[in-house]
Amino acid sequence: MTSEEKLWPRISIETWADFQREIEPHLDGDWIFRGVGSVRHQLLPSVGRKRGDYSYSREAEQDFFDQFKREALPLLAIRPADGWEWLALAQHHGVPTRLLDWSESPYVSLFFAVWGNDDEDAGIYIVPRPARASRLGDDPFLVEEVGFFYPGYVTPRLVSQRGLFTVHPIPTDTYRPDGVKQIVVSKDSKRDIRRKLDATGIHHAVIYSDLDGLSRRLVAVQDFRAAKLGTSAAATLAITSALTKQEGYVKTKGNPRDPQKGQWGHVATRNGWTLSAEVSEVSENWYAIELAVQPEAGSNHRLTGEVVFHLHDTFKEPVRSVMPGHDRALLKVWAYGAFTVGALVTQDETPLELDLAELENAPKRFREQ
């Protein structure tokens, strides 16, 4: 296992009481928290994430930021004082930056986790509070180490969310400080946790501190009153027991939760090639997956060209090329749960697809999350 694949502890919770128990040791002010709607999302600044044909470069980041400053200036009542405030403003309005949003409140972070979506388990990252970022003039791009800062350009939302930022000098590096851990929030518990957060004063009207937040909170309250606990539609979905078989390569509509699903023809064996996987649990909520493409049993094929594996988009490198050895192309990765893998045998352009949730020999918990 490389340092890039370093695993961090993941602790599963199913109830509000579970969360209280796990968070209690981290209420001494020495920690910061980040909630994510999917436990698969890693601590990677938005400007460093791959999307479509975009890949990070320092020049592209600087150009993007400079353009935002030029075009935003006429729209501002107050001009940011320095580069730090400009960067925080850009992050606040959705511009990809080298910043990550955090909160000093685990309950605010839990709010963002459980309101993300009801289709996936959520996550709460807990990390030791890093040192305050050095202010080198007005240029946050000169910082050499990860650090936190409170922006001077304060918005009501940032105050109500007890927000702060970490700045990341290498935005393509996943943040893995010593002591990081993750609480996994079961998707089936989200509805109940939302109700309890509301009862403790953590709701849209407080988090967003505006009329939009108030409106969203009123809608949520109506839902709480009308709905019965435990009736989430996501909890009733079952994973199919076998892949759909097709003779040809038929690409179907994409699934944002499982982006490779249906994109590679639905079958794991075609044209004398087969895609297989072995899954083993290495620690709580971490699974080692060994993927293999090789000739189908009884085939006289020889694998000589590279195989291109397509993984879930939450991997830092979702597309990986592997040259074969001993007539097999092998790739080992670590993940939280099942997803669909696509593979392309380049020597004859054969597409293969394997839904890891369908592996009968894989751990049951892996297949279900």
Handedness of CA 261, 266, 267, 270 (dihedral sign): negative
- Give Cβ neighbours of residue 285 (< 8 Å, ≥ 6 apart): 10, 11, 12, 39, 184, 336
Give the contacts of 228 (CB within 8 A, at least 6 positions apart): none
The number of helices, as runs of H, and strands, as runs of E, in the chain is 9, 15
Cα–Cα distance for residue pair 300/327, rounded to 1 Å: 11
In the structure, what pLDDT confidence band is assigned to residue 45 with cuts at 50, 70 and 90?
A: very high
Q: Any idea which of 8-22, 41-55, 230-244 has the lowest mean pLDDT?
A: 230-244
What pLDDT sits at residue 208?
Answer: 79
On the question of pLDDT at 38 being above 90, the answer is yes
pLDDT beyond 90 at 223: no
pLDDT band at 70 (very low <50, low <70, confident <90, very high): very high
How far is the CA of 303 from the CAs of 103, 227, 324, in angstroms?
A: 50, 55, 7
Residue 226 has what pLDDT?
59
Q: What is the pLDDT at residue 331?
A: 97
Q: Which of 71-80, 134-143, 160-169, 246-255 has the highest mean pLDDT?
A: 71-80
Higher pLDDT, 271 or 208: 271
Lowest mean pLDDT among 67-81, 82-96, 124-138, 299-313: 124-138
* Three-state DSSP class for residue 212: helix
The confidence score (pLDDT) of residue 37 equals 94
Secondary structure of 262-329 as H, E, C letters: CCCCCCCEECCEEEEEEEEEEECCEEEEEEEEEECCCCCCCCCCCEEEECCCCCCCCEEEECCECCEE
Q: Of 329, 351, 353, whose CA–CA distance to 260 is shortest?
A: 353
Strand partners, 276: 292
Give mean pLDDT, residues 227-232.
40
Percent of the chain with pLDDT over 90: 57
Flag whether pLDDT at 128 surpasses 70: yes
Helix (H) or strand (E) holding 207: helix 204-208
Q: Is the pLDDT of residue 249 over 50?
A: no
pLDDT at 298: 87
Domains belonging to the chain, first-starting first, are: 3-233 (no CATH), 269-368 (2.60.40.1970)
Q: What is the mean pLDDT of residues 107-119?
A: 91
For 255-292, give one letter per residue: b (16+ CB within 10 A) or e: eeebbbbbbbbbbbbbebbbbebebeeeeebbbbbebb
pLDDT in tens, 186-210: 999 998 999 999 888 888 787 876 6
pLDDT band at 320 (very low <50, low <70, confident <90, very high): very high
pLDDT in tens, 141-153: 988 889 998 877 5
Q: What is the per-residue pLDDT for 65?
A: 92
Average pLDDT, the chain: 85
The token pair that represents 63 in the structure block: 């150009």
